[in-house]
C-alpha cells in the first residue's frame, strides 16, 4: 500500500513549493515535467520559490503521454542526476512524470493545474502506445500540491470532466463487486467505500457545482485526490476504473481526440449503470446539473462510433466487468444507446 505522504491544497500555495519539497526530501536537483504554455504562465513563480530554497531547477517540456516522452524524461533524470520529479499540468504531464520517476526510482510530486481527472494521486499512469491507452503500475506521488487559484483558472470544461470521472466510481465499484461474486476476485470494501464517497460528494452537490463551480472546486479536487488514494489502498485501479473507463479507452481508439477522458467516462457511466440495473437516470441528471455532456453528440462522437466502442471495450482489457458478462451484440449496443438517450 503506497499513499502520498504530504498533501497541500489551498489558494496560492504555489509560493510554498520550495518548502513543500523540503518536507518531501533533502534533494536539491528538481526536474519539472510540463508543457510550454504552463511553463510560460507559472515558470517564473516556480523558479523564485525554488531559488529561495537553494534548489537547482531543470525543465522538460512534453506534448504527449507516450513511451517516447517517458524515455526522454528518464534520460534527463539520469543525465542531470535529478533527485525529485514534479509533474505540473494535467494528466499528460503528471502521468509521464509519474512513470519516469517510478522507473528511475526517484521521488515524485504531483502538481495539478486542472481538475479533469483522478490521476492526481493514484499509483497508475495512463500511457499511449500506437494510439492505444495502457494503465501502467507506478507509484503514488510522495506529495500532492494543488493550488486552487491555478486550478480555478483552467477552463470549466476540465472541472466538469473531473466530476464525470468521479461519478464513474459508481459503476467501477459495481463491476468490482461483480468480479468478486462471479470470478472470486479480491474486493476491498474500505477502498471501494472511499471511492463511492468521492462519487457521492459530486452526486449530492451536482446542482451547486453546476451553478457555482468555482466555489466547489476545492471539494472536487479533494475528492479526486481521495479517489487516487482509494486506488493506492486497493493496490489496483479497480475502485476507480471499470466498464465505463473501458468505453472511454475504446473511444480513444475509435474516435481519437473527441471528448475529454472524464466526459467519456461520465457518458459511459450512464450506459453501464443501465446494464447494472442501477438508477442511471439519477446519474444522468447529476451530470446535466453539473453541465457535463450526457450525449455522445455533445463530444462529437457518432452513434456508429459509440456502438463500435461498446463492442471493442471488453477487448481493451481482460478485467471482468458488466460488458464481459453481457457480451453485447451490435443490436444490443444500439438499444442501450437509444434507451438511455445518450445518442
26 pLDDT more than 90: yes
Residues in the chain: 343
pLDDT grade for 15, boundaries at 50, 70 and 90: very high
Mean pLDDT value across residues 167-188 = 98
Whether this prediction's pTM lies above 0.85 is answered by yes
Cα 33 to chain center, whole Å? 17
CB 322 within 8 A of CB 264: no
pLDDT at residue number 295:
98
256 pLDDT more than 80: yes
Q: Looking at beta carbons, which pairs linking 200-203 to residues 24 or more positions away fall under 8 Å?
A: 201/166, 202/163, 202/166, 202/167, 202/286, 202/290, 203/167, 203/282, 203/283, 203/286
DSSP structure class, residue 14: G
Mean pLDDT value across residues 255-259 = 95
Task: State the CB neighbour count (10 A cutoff) for residue 37.
Answer: 11
pLDDT at residue number 45:
97
343 pLDDT more than 90: yes
Q: Which three cell numbers stand for residue 171?
A: 459503476
Instruction: Report pLDDT digits (tens) over 210-219.
Output: 888 788 999 9
pLDDT grade for 318, boundaries at 50, 70 and 90: confident
Name, in order, each residue with C-beta under 8 angstroms of 65's C-beta and a sequence gap of 6 or more: 91, 92, 95, 96, 125, 126, 127, 128
pLDDT grade for 2, boundaries at 50, 70 and 90: confident
Instruction: Report pLDDT digits (tens) over 65-90.
Output: 999 999 999 999 999 999 999 999 99
129 pLDDT more than 90: no
32 pLDDT more than 80: yes
pLDDT at residue number 214:
82
Q: Where in the chain is the domain with CATH 1.20.1090.10?
A: 156-340
CB 232 within 8 A of CB 239: no
Task: State the CB neighbour count (10 A cutoff) for residue 342.
Answer: 24
187 pLDDT more than 90: yes
Q: Where in the chain is the domain with CATH 3.40.50.1970?
A: 6-152
Q: Looking at beta carbons, which pairs linking 93-96 to residues 24 or more positions away fall under 8 Å?
A: 93/33, 93/34, 93/35, 93/38, 93/62, 94/119, 94/120, 95/65, 95/119, 95/125, 95/126, 95/127, 96/33, 96/62, 96/65, 96/69, 96/70, 96/125, 96/127
pLDDT at residue number 139:
83
Q: What is the architecture, at CATH level 2, of domain 156-340?
A: Up-down Bundle (1.20)
Q: Which three cell numbers stand for residue 220?
A: 472536487
CA distance 238 to 192: 8
145 pLDDT more than 80: yes
SS in 3 state form for 257-306?
A: CCCCHHHHHHHHHHHHHHHCCCCHHHHHHHHHHHCCCCCHHHHCCCHHHH
Cα 229 to chain center, whole Å? 12
Q: Which residue blocks in the chain are alpha helix, DSSP H?
A: 17-24, 36-52, 67-79, 91-103, 148-152, 156-167, 169-183, 189-204, 206-211, 213-234, 243-254, 261-275, 280-290, 303-316, 322-326, 330-340
Task: State the CB neighbour count (10 A cutoff) for residue 81.
Answer: 9
pLDDT at residue number 135:
85
Backbone angles phi, psi at 57, to 5 degrees: -105, 135
pLDDT at residue number 96:
97
Q: Yes or no: is domain 6-152 CATH 3.30.70.100?
A: no
CA distance 286 to 250: 24
Task: Please state, rounded to an integer, the average pLDDT across all residues of the chain.
Answer: 95
pLDDT at residue number 36:
97
197 pLDDT more than 80: yes
Q: Residue 63: which H helix or E strand, with range?
A: none
pLDDT grade for 133, boundaries at 50, 70 and 90: confident
How far is residue 100 from each of residues 15, 45, 203, measured CA to CA in Å?
25, 24, 35
Amino acid at each position: 500500500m503506497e499513499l502520498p505522504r504530504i498533501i497541500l491544497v489551498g489558494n496560492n500555495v504555489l509560493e510554498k513549493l520550495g518548502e513543500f519539497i523540503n518536507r518531501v526530501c533533502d534533494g536539491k536537483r528538481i526536474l519539472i515535467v510540463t508543457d510550454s504554455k504552463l511553463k510560460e504562465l507559472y515558470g517564473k513563480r516556480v523558479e523564485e520559490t525554488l531559488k529561495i530554497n537553494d534548489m537547482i531547477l531543470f525543465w522538460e517540456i512534453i506534448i504527449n503521454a507516450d513511451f517516447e516522452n517517458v524515455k526522454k524524461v528518464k534520460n534527463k533524470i539520469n543525465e542531470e542526476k535529478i533527485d525529485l520529479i514534479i509533474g505540473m499540468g494535467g494528466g499528460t504531464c503528471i502521468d509521464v512524470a509519474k512513470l519516469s520517476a517510478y522507473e528511475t526510482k526517484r521521488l515524485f510530486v504531483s502538481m495539478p493545474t486542472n481538475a479533469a481527472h483522478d490521476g492526481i494521486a493514484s499509483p497508475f499512469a495512463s500511457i499511449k502506445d500506437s494510439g492505444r491507452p495502457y494503465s501502467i503500475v507506478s507509484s503514488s506521488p510522495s506529495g500532492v500540491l494543488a493550488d486552487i487559484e491555478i486550478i480555478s483558472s483552467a477552463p470549466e470544461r476540465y472541472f466538469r470532466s473531473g466530476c464525470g470521472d468521479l461519478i464513474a466510481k459508481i459503476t467501477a465499484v459495481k463491476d468490482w463487486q461483480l468480479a468478486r461474486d462471479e470470478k472470486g476476485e479480491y474486493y476491498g470494501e474500505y477502498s471501494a467505500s472511499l471511492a463511492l464517497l468521492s462519487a457521492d460528494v459530486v452526486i449530492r452537490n451536482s446542482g451547486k457545482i453546476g451553478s457555482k463551480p468555482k466555489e466547489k472546486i476545492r471539494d472536487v479536487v479533494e475528492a479526486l485526490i481521495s479517489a487516487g488514494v482509494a486506488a493506492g489502498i486497493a493496490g489496483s485501479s479497480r475502485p476507480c476504473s471499470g466498464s465505463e473507463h473501458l468505453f472511454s479507452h475504446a473511444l480513444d481508439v475509435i474516435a481519437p481526440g473527441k471528448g475529454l477522458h472524464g466526459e467519456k467516462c461520465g457518458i459511459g457511466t450512464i450506459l453501464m449503470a443501465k446494464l447494472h440495473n442501477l438508477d442511471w437516470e439519477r446519474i444522468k441528471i447529476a451530470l446535466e446539473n453539473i453541465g457535463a455532456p450526457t450525449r455522445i453528440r455533445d463530444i462529437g462522437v457518432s452513434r456508429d462510433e459509440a456502438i463500435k466502442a461498446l463492442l471493442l471495450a471488453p477487448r481493451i482489457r481482460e478485467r471482468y466487468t458488466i460488458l464481459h458478462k453481457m457480451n453485447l451484440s451490435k443490436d444490443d449496443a444500439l438499444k442501450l444507446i437509444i434507451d438511455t438517450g445518450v445518442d
